[in-house]
Every structure is written in C-alpha cells, then in structure tokens.
Chains A and B, each alone.
Chain A
C-alpha cells in the first residue's frame, strides 16, 4: 500500500493574491431523495460525500450517500444506490460500487470514513434515516457490512441520523464514532404545511428532537454505546452537521453539533468518557443577537492561525451563516460574522456543506459553501430555489471576500454535501459536491499563481504547527468530519505561500505534548 507520509507540491509561480478558480466537471452520481410530492421532511436531507483512499493507491476516491424511495425507505433501484468511485489519481472517477459491495440499503444521508479496526484500510460508516451501515474494508477492493456485529445498530427505535463523524475521544488512537441525530419522524404522522394550493416542507419546530449518540471504540472491531454515560444523551437537539476540535487546548477533542433552528451544542470533553454541553456559556450556540439559526453544516478549524480552532456554520436565508472566532478563555467564542463580512454576503443564501480550506495555498484557510434554498422557498424570497455555490477568500485580517463570481463554480443547483481533498495530486484542494436530481459536481482547483502546499498524515485529533521562513506560524489539525454529512481527506494540509518548505514543524498528537516532527 502506498502511503504518502507527506508531500510537498509546487504549484505554478508564487503569488499571494491568486484568484481562486475551479474547473467544474459533472460526475456521474445523481443524488435522489425519493420525492414524490408528499413533502416528506427527509427529502430535504440527502446527502453526504466521503473521501476515502479505499484501495490504498495514495489517491483519494469518493463515496456518495444516496436516498431511497419514500415512504418505504428502500433502495428500490440502482438510482438509489450509494456509490463509490475510484480515482485514477488524475481526478477521473470510475464507478466501482457493485464490485466493492457498498450500494447499501435504506435511506442513507451521511458518510464518515476511518480505519476503525486499525487493519490499515479505511472503512465507511453510512448514517441514515432508517438504518446505519458500517462497511468494513477487506483490503481487496471489497467491503463487508458489519454494523450489527460492530454494535452500531439500534437496540430500540432507530433515530434519524443526519451526520456521523469519527474522532478520538479518549486519545487511545482508535477512532470513536459520534452520530448526530435529527428529529423523530414517521411517514404516517407527517404534518401538512403550506396551503391547499401549495404544500411546503414543515418547519423542524413541528417535530420532536432527538439526542445524538456516542460510541466508544473497543479496539476489537466493535463499539460500545456510551451515549447516556457520556452525557451526550442528556441533550435533546435537532442535530445536523458535526465537527471536532480541541477548542480549549486541554488535549481532548471536543464536539460541535449544528442544530436546526435551535441552539447549537458544544460538548466539552472532560476526559474519562464524559462530556458537558457548554455552547451557551462559551458563546457558540447562538448568533450574537441571541438567535438560534437553522444551522446545517459546520467546520471547526483555525482560520486565523492563532492556534485556536474557530467555527463556521451554514444556515438559512435571513439567518446569515455564522463565524465564531475562538478568542480563548474565559469567553472562547465570539460572533465575528458581521465583522468578517459574512453577514451581508450570506444573508440571502441557504447553506449545507461548508469547509475551511486554503484554496490558493497562501497560508490562510478560505471558505467554501454548498448552497441551495429549500424547494419553493425561492419564490417566497423573491428568487429561485437552486443556488450557486460560493467561495470566500480569507484575506488574512479576519475578513472574507466573496470571490465566487470569478471562481468558475458554474450554475445553480440543489447542492448538499461537500468534501475536500486534492483529487489530482497537484497540491491544490479540490471540492466534490452532491446535488439533488443532478450530477454531482467536481470542482477541480486550477488556481493560477497559488502557493506551495504540504500535507502530513497523522492520527485523528493531532494538532500541527508549522513555521515559515518569515516567522509566521500556521495551524491545522487532523479531522475528517466536515460541513454537512461529509468527510474530507485524512490529511493535515498547509498552504505555504511563496515558501517551498517550513522551517519548523511541531506536532501534538492526541494525549501528548508538542514536539518537533
């Protein structure tokens, strides 16, 4: 198996003001939500995108979660299959779903990727409406579904999961699993909303929330449900995106859950398998004006290189997406949306997938948003429901500038999950976005004049700091869970700007101190 422990890529000539630009390609995958005019709430929710090097060739492949027919929640035909595409290392993707045995069953929504059993091969967890699936990678190009023997099936009523993510909750080097659950839903009791002439999807306020779930890795291919003992089960939410980072620098990875139309949760990891929800106290639950937005996607990374991970959260039209800047103790998160320029720029958007990624390799993580209003909502808001995706350049002083117009992001669609990876090995971060009823989009990053980049493969939860020749320091950490129901490349990536290599590399692996790498 080829493992690129690290790589340095030199990309074109170096410039610091490169225009972020993508080349848009359609992929053969079409996301189907099973909509038949009944306005079942789950129709809004598919689906996530997962990056996985399933065959160990060093190139990032892609897996898509897909819906099912409704109300039966069955994959009644190949159009509902989840799909795995093998990357030829140049960004060309071939469908290997059947051979790999990963079409799945049920109404799938989210993808999480990790080598949960330490056999050297990354596995796929699929979370969904009626069931969750664990595809164990056999290392020969095929997978075996093992949710039940792994202890990941529901004992009682299966909660509706929207996102799942692997992280290392106890610093033992084994990926644990967090599942973000949404609301209680039954097709037979689906409320009716809108008018006689125009049905709408109902507001989540009409549905009962659910607690999320936490499963500890037993290091033997199985998991133990510690939802209740960990404290996670005490919070009833309407969970969508989930992201992980050590926000308070105590060496333990914390969890952020984006809740739909109610306050977000920030679970502080207390150690010993315990978590305490502290979102309101630490300023990460509500917008600055005390409003809960319709939070959907989230990413949790340090956008300003101060060593403290920050949050970005997508929401609905009139919400504005949220940018929480981590200023450390005692306040931790401060709503910097307005001062960053994102309030006005995102007020008329509805967002799903989101990610911090340094698209121009200038050392500052930029922002990508996968956007789409709810069907019919565009008419209400004076426009159309499908939206274009957007990319904002981090200008390095806390502000983000909308550069979507020149970024080559193509036309509007019902965009959903977005995952980030360098799919063609050119040192630039690319994006893959799923779209309801349309081919998924592969945004190949073709930014001219981008800087150099470097990547490191480290265990989940590892923090890294690199120092550049000019003395500046850059921070990032290992986490794959990203945006909405999606999973990105398992690498820690840095844009180096005009420099070709760092002068110093420090690493803080889970449970350890900072050390030279």
Chain B
C-alpha cells in the first residue's frame, strides 16, 4: 500500500548519501532520484540491485538500509545495517540506525543494550534519532526522569533541532511541568514553524493555562495544515 514520504526524511536521506560519498555511483544517483520522486519501489529495486552487485561494499548496504529506514521499513532496514556493520565494524552510522531499527521493531532489550554501548563511546555519537528514540522508549516505560535526561542531551548537542525540543516539551508536560513544557514546545515551533509536531502539544498546554486564544490559534494552524489532505 501507500508509501508515505516525509519530505524531511527524504532530505535527510539525500544528505546522508551525500555525506558518504561525493562521487555517487550512477545506480545510487538513480535510486535517489526515484526516492525523491516518491517512486519507492523503483528506488528499492535499484538500490537493492546495487547492493547485490556490491555485496562486500558496506556503503552499498548502508545506502539501501537508509532507504528502508527513511521510509519507515525498519524490519527491512535492520538486517541490511547489520550486514553493513559486519563488513565495516567501524561504521557507526549503520550501528546507530540499526539500534533505532531494533527499537522500532520491538527488540527493545537488544536495542537498549546497543544504545547504551553507543552512548558510552567517545566521542559521543550525538545522534538526534538515536537519542530521541531512546528517550521515547524510556518515556513509554514511564521512566520520565531518564527520558528527560536524554531529551535534554539531544537539545544540548543539537540546539537547532525542533524535535529535541518537542520531546523535551512532551516529557515535561507528562511530568506536570507545564510552564517549562510550554517554553520547550514554543521553541520547537520557532525552530520549525512549518512542522505540526509541537503545535498539537501547545493546544493542550495553552488550554490548561487558560490561554484559549493562543490554543485556538495553534488549532487553526493545524486545521489549515490538515485541510490540504482532504483536497488533493
């Protein structure tokens, strides 16, 4: 069924590929082009073929893994990252994304162990996805203090990342610290006004504080954002 493409994820994927190599092979460039056009199956076919043709190339595996990862197919991504790491044990990016995949596919204890190992390494990975996925895991386990520590760490090493502030707000709100949660959510919106994540939280926080006009304003923004989906 439908492949949902998050533009932000795609940009991230392309950036990741560009980081890895500037002399991008033709197959990879084609695969990325398909991905950019939303042609996931064609992208997968192309990058899968490239990975098969280059079975000893950790980069070829990692690029395929990142395609799966950024389209949300974590169960497919996981073994590919594991293969990339087997080929290149120093490929920390594949280890990081593999750890996130472990969380997403429900292998939580394995995920937590690998994450702790990664977070203890020097220099620290300072990866937003990993840190916030771990924060989310801790949040779901109701270990709010530990989750808060991770969210604060993410904000510290990536102060321009809106999702770090969103998680900070969400955890603070769950801890009943509405004022600090509101500040964090507002910072998230300030960093990425085009994203909906923290606005929904702000509706609730403002209502709790009796700031009904502010709540209505955020709700209206979300309504306008959502209205586009009803009328393609």
Contact = CB atoms under 8 A, between A and B. Distances in A.
Contact of B208 (A203, A331, A339, A382): A331
A381 B200 contact: no
Interface stretch (A10-18, A24-32, A110-118, A206-214): A206-214
Contacts of A503: none
Interface in B201-230: 201, 203-204, 207-208, 210, 212, 215-216, 219, 222-223, 226-227, 229-230
Contacts of B78: 382
Residue of A208, A291, A292 with most partner-chain B CB within 10 A: A292
A283 B173 CA distance: 14
Contacts of A289: 166, 170, 197, 200-201
A348 B223 contact: no
Contacts of A207: 232
A238 interface: yes
Q: Looking at chain B's contact residues, is the secondary structure mostly helix, strand, loop, or mixed?
A: helix
A348 B108 CA distance: 13
Contacts, number: 140
A89 interface: no
Contacts of A205: 2, 229, 232
Nearest to B78: A382
A377 interface: yes
A340 to B, nearest CB: 9
24 contacts: A197-B41, A200-B1, A201-B2, A202-B2, A205-B2, A206-B232, A208-B231, A236-B231, A237-B230, A280-B200, A281-B207, A281-B216, A289-B170, A290-B197, A290-B201, A318-B72, A318-B74, A318-B104, A339-B139, A343-B140, A376-B1, A380-B40, A380-B73, A383-B75
Interface string A418-451: 0000000000000000000000000000000000
A347 B215 CA distance: 29
Given A195-B45, A208-B230, A280-B203, A286 B1 contact: no
A364 B166 CA distance: 33
Given A208-B232, A290-B196, A344-B108, A283 B203 contact: yes
A380 to B, nearest CB: 6
B57 interface: no
A344 B200 CA distance: 21
Interface of B: 1-4, 39-42, 45, 72-76, 78, 104-106, 108, 136-137, 139-140, 142, 166, 170, 174, 195-201, 203-204, 207-208, 210, 212, 215-216, 219, 222-223, 226-227, 229-232
A292 B229 CA distance: 10
Given A263-B223, A291-B196, A331-B204, 10 more contacts: A195-B39, A200-B1, A206-B232, A208-B232, A280-B219, A281-B216, A288-B170, A338-B139, A380-B3, A382-B76
Given A236-B231, A331-B208, A203 B140 contact: no
A262 interface: yes
A93 interface: no
B191 to A, nearest CB: 14
A217 interface: no
A194 interface: yes
A382 B74 contact: yes
B76 A380 contact: yes
Contact of A209 (B41, B166, B219, B230): B230
A200 B1 CA distance: 5
A193 interface: yes
A285 B1 contact: no
Interface string A263-288: 10000000000000000110101111
A148 B27 CA distance: 60
A195 B2 contact: no
Contact of B222 (A200, A263, A380): A263
B232 A330 contact: no
Contacts of B210: 330
B75 A382 contact: yes
Contacts of A377: 1
Contacts of B203: 280-281, 283
B115 to A, nearest CB: 15
